[in-house]
Structure 1
Amino acid sequence: MKPFRTLALLAALTLPAFAADEVTIFNGTDLTGWEGNKDLWSVQDGTITGITPPDPANPEKGIIKHNTFLVWKAGKVSDFELTFQYRIEKGNSGVQYRSKELAPGEFGPIITGYQADFEAGDKYSGILYEERGRGILALRGEKTTIKPGADGKKPVVEKAGTTGDSAAIQASIKKEDWNEYKIVAKGNHVQHFINGMQTIDVTDEDAANAPKEGLLALQIHQGPPMKVQFKNFKLVPLK
């Protein structure tokens, strides 16, 4: 057999093994496996769509009074790589990972844990934020190490370098159009990427508070009326 044919055969044999490791989290048709406020979350044109409706008494403000989430209930994540595409009109959103569910609020599930943040504005897309936890752990373009705080208080966020120019990363993000986000989490090391550009790199040494396993969830944020959409999820556990 010719060498190039042998290589092609080996490549063909390895592809199914890789594909078998992928976990389907969205079927492209309905919200099977997901749980949230169905007045706010739906499937439109093959995308998971979340909205913050306007308040009838004040149309400039959204009707929801707390951040709420669509939670993937079919499994949990620990070490993994997740890619997806998102589009947002106004407001703020993100993907929760290694997260926990708290008591539900008036408008649906409430979540705490790591968040891969993004927004319609220019400041927060790509950052690592811990919802209802330790707050911002890395701004866009930052490489940080998280240390335990004294006496269990607020952690120390040490800057350890950069992942790139924050303004250049923001300039690559398309307004009200589709962007690709990637999250890589392995052990206490997490990384975010938007449109192929690394946005953060965090080593979380605050062992008592660093989440190691938990839920995936999608966010709609309190604030102005907004719309966010997600599609083309690809979740691969890391061994």
Structure 2
Amino acid sequence: MYGPQCEIAVNGTAGDFYDEARRGTWWSILTKTEAVRTDAVKAAFKKGEWNHYRIVVKGDHYQSFINGVPTADFTQPGDPEGYIGFQVHGIKAGTGPYSVRWRNVKFRETK
């Protein structure tokens, strides 16, 4: 798979999008090409708690929100259709425990 991925991370990039496979570029709310964060956006992600993500993609316009706080808003042409996936990166043995869980996942087509 390739294309923008919305981050679930405790390192301050939660809610940013990353295009790892093709461009190696980050997008966030404040700049459209690099991750520059505000305290409010960093505070939106609650480590160790359930977080509500809302991801909206209309054409080439991408937006993300964590717990109601806007975290990314950018336009990136080139992905008119594709797949939606969930991913967990591997970690070295003994560096965890880490876990990622999803609940109440909903998809809705926008017009």
Q: Residue 41 of structure 2: SS of its match in structure 1?
A: helix
2:10 paired with 1:142:
no
Q: 1:133 aligns with which of 16, 19, 22?
A: 22
Q: Indicate the residue corresponding to 1:184 in structure 2.
A: 56
**Per chain length, whose mean CA-contact separation is higher, i.e. which structure has more relative contact order (CA < 8 Å, sep 6+)?**
1
What do you get for the CA RMSD once the two structures are aligned? 2.0
Cα pair 1:179 1:194 within 8 Å, conserved = yes
Q: Report the identity percentage.
A: 34
TM-score (norm 1): 0.41
Cα pair 2:10 2:45 within 8 Å, conserved = no
Q: Deviations over 1:48-94 (max 9, x none)?
A: xxxxxxxxxxxxxxxxxxxxxxxxxxxxxxxxxxxxxxxxxxxxxxx
Q: Distance in 2 between matches of 1:229 and 1:217?
A: 14
Q: Which has the larger radius of gyration?
A: 1
Give how far 1:212 is off: 1.4
Q: Indicate the residue corresponding to 1:231 in structure 2.
A: 103
2:86 paired with 1:214:
no
Give how far 1:200 is off: 0.9
Cα pair 1:114 1:130 within 8 Å, conserved = yes
Give how far 1:138 is off: 1.0
Task: Give the letter for the 1:197 counterpart.
Answer: V
Q: Residue 215 of structure 1: SS of its match in structure 2?
A: coil
Which structure features the higher share of strand residues?
Answer: 1
How many aligned positions are there?
A: 106
Give how far 1:143 is off: 4.3
